[in-house]
Amino acid sequence: MRKSAERKRFGIFYTPPDFTRFIVSQTVEEIIRQRWDAVREAHRLEADRTESAAPSPAVAAFWREAFEALRTIKVCDPACGSGVLLIGAYDALDRAYTRAVDQLAIHEGPAADGLEESIPDLILSENLYGVDLSPQAVEITRLALWIRSARRNKLLADLSQNVVWGNSLVSDPSVHPRAMVWEETFPDVFGRPGQPGFDCVIGNPPWERMKLQEREFFAFSAPEIAGAVSAATRRTMILEIQRSDPELYQRYLEAQQAADGALAHVRSSGTFPRTAKGDINTYVLFAELAQRIVAPSGRVGLLVPSGIATDATTREFFSDLMESQALIGLYDFENRRRLFPDVDSRFKFSMLLFSGKEAKTKAVDFVFFAHRMEDLDERSRHISLSAKDLVLLNPNTRTCPIFRSRRDAELTKAVYRRVPILIDKSRRQGGNPWGIRFVTMFHQTNDAELFRTAEELHKEGFKLEGNRWRKGKRVLLPLYEAKMVQAYDHRAASVVVDTENWVRQGQTEATTPVLHQNPEFLAQPRWWVEESEVLGVLGKPHARGFIGFKDITSPTNQRTMIAAAIPWSAVTNHFPLVLTGAPERSELCLLANLNAFVLDYLARQKIGGVTLNFFIVNQLPIFPPDRYRERCPWNPRQTLEKWVSDRVLKLTCTAEDMRPLAEAAGLEPSLHPWRPAERLELKAELDAAFFLLYQLARDDVQYVLGTFQRLRAGDEPAERLFTDEDSVLQAYDRLSAGTR
């Protein structure tokens, strides 16, 4: 377990053999094929003539030049680790050299003697290169290559100039003692006329944030710090070790300074203009490094998180690959089969293939949600997307959607041609019709000092009223966490603390049906915040409460977009608030749109990781407010706004703390009873309504609903996440009849 945890701490995950073979086949073997094709064309030989069994001077000349062409191929892994990918490259080159030697033995006879003995030395001295920050990794890689190339009575090759100990990402010695300048470290590679750089850059670079992670740093040296209940407590404990364990504290300071120095360098050096943004993960820097050090006609094959194509911080890099026609393919995998045992099963990673600046690929090949390498053999999984498609689907960021099938791609593109996105930043005016401002009120780590526990407040003489603490004029509001909320339900769960679980100490305690039916029952948080602090963030009170959504999710969860209205309260950063300034009923229509099955289906085509970022929400197709001022298509006697908001109010205003919203919106009576059967019916009607508004045909509705049923898990309360498929279809038929 310790080794596993150490690998996770440093973002090191060993490359499965199938992925090694695929990356090598798409890079090293492809470059070999291209070089040999060029030689064959120069010699004007048909492919079948190169394997002639009868000796031929013409064929001999071809294979002699093919052999020499292999010697020009330069392959590099800039984060070589244990050398797995370099060994794969060695094997591919060895097969090619051996094939050439076998043919030369036929066509040149004795003149080819001795060539076979030279193959290992040629591969190690002229073909393979590697760099790693760990001296142990460098020694392991050298040892692996020596073992692979060992021959009786032959000296081991000198690998000191080809496999080096260095920092691939840092060029300034004042930042890191092992800083390296690529052009100086490998002058034979970058001094080549016409094709400076490596012909193949391959790798599975570290997947780790550059910012020092305190929990991971102290996981072994001081587990009690790693397991602190809150970030504020952890920071206090770190200060305490300055006295109790000064040596550990010094190591912590040095690690922090090293991380901060490296961060500052990559942001200011100009070496990573497209990826040194936001909360930087090293894998994106390695991807941009590969783009810089690959030869103009070379190829890159990397195993990286799928966020390389879908995250906002990588949008410039990915969009450059698409627009320059450098991207060859992206093969996205979900870790459900534990291909990486130390990584969460929901995590998504990709094999990314792209070329140097001279090679162009017009039709980019995509596969998404694969679980095993054999899935790539299914032709129906392969989807072609162009730069134009990315402009349609993600006009703000040009990032990549993630489709399970061609039908998903076509359905999604059809909707985007009909419905505008929520916030279109390409428009000078009218791009934000709702006037939306996203607010993350309190960061669970950075603002931890503001959070107070019930025990602390009780000792200070505060009195609990509902889920608020009062003492004189001072009021502390409940701090809502995303886990307390489900769709149309701000009382889905209370939070209790489990100190034994240092990764997830805040555990949910689900609200029972009986408690839901009690309008006086309020969910209890684990922390509270001074009302004055909330006002400091927002500037003014929002008595009616807010709408917001849960930003921790996954395209493989039962629901991806989960939104709700909550009362006036404090909120953590994982439940972003959607502030519009729109009238109550209009804003509730937006809430209904966010919770609709059809929007959830579209949202899951956009998420590469586990976070529903603002840039994703901004680019979802969502109706503007004026759409709801129109007459309801299936009930022309009222506006669409009234039809939708009546149902949302009944689903939302079921407890005393939502009375301000109910009264502001004119709901009578101001609280609606919690009736499970009625709630399912109301949700079905809303889902059906939005399917019609998005203009999905009935068979497409059935298909979309089926994608949710396939993901449904038996351990989630159905009422909270799902509406019965038949109920939605019946409501769809009923409302459709009203539009004729």
- pLDDT, tens digit, 9 for 90 and up, residues 233-277: 889 999 999 999 999 999 999 999 999 999 999 999 999 999 999
pLDDT at 718 (0 to 100):
40
Percent of the chain beyond pLDDT 90?
77
Domain boundaries, the chain: 1-208+281-301, 214-266, 437-739
What is the pLDDT averaged over residues 724-731?
91
What is the pLDDT averaged over residues 387-408?
92
Mind spelling out the 3-state secondary structure of 173-196? CCCCCCECCHHHHCHHHHCCCCCC
pLDDT tens readout for residues 355-370: 999 999 988 999 999 9
In contact, 356 and 294? CB cutoff 8 Å: yes
pLDDT tens readout for residues 83-133: 999 999 999 999 999 999 999 998 888 878 889 889 999 999 999 999 999
Report the half-sphere exposure of 651 (CA within 13 A, side-chain side): 29
pLDDT at 714 (0 to 100):
39
pLDDT at 501 (0 to 100):
61
Q: Give the residue from 600, 498, 517 showing the smallest Cα distance to 557.
A: 600
- Chain centre to alpha carbon of residue 440: 20
pLDDT at 449 (0 to 100):
93
Residue 78 sits at φ, ψ, to 5 deg, of: -75, -5
Other Cβ atoms within 10 Å of 34 Cβ, number: 17
What is the pLDDT averaged over residues 517-529?
97
CA distance 681 to 491: 20
> Is the bond preceding residue 669 a cis peptide, omega within 30 degrees?
yes
In contact, 354 and 318? CB cutoff 8 Å: no
pLDDT band at 10 (very low <50, low <70, confident <90, very high): very low
pLDDT at 8 (0 to 100):
43
pLDDT at 720 (0 to 100):
43
299 pLDDT more than 50: yes
pLDDT at 11 (0 to 100):
44
pLDDT tens readout for residues 309-347: 988 889 999 999 999 999 999 999 988 888 777 777 778
pLDDT tens readout for residues 691-721: 999 999 999 999 999 988 654 443 344 444 4
Q: Distance from first CA to last CA of the chain, Å, rounded? A: 64
Least confident of 503-512, 622-631, 729-738: 503-512
pLDDT band at 458 (very low <50, low <70, confident <90, very high): very high
294 pLDDT more than 60: yes
Pairing of strands 327-334, 348-355: antiparallel
| Rg from Cα positions in the chain | 30
Q: Give the residue from 450, 644, 639 showing the smallest Cα distance to 533.
A: 450
190 pLDDT more than 90: yes
Least confident of 51-55, 148-152, 184-188, 284-288: 51-55
pLDDT band at 69 (very low <50, low <70, confident <90, very high): very high
Q: What is the mean pLDDT of the chain?
A: 91
pLDDT at 610 (0 to 100):
78
Other Cβ atoms within 10 Å of 586 Cβ, number: 19
Higher-pLDDT residue of 22 and 9 is 22
pLDDT at 362 (0 to 100):
84
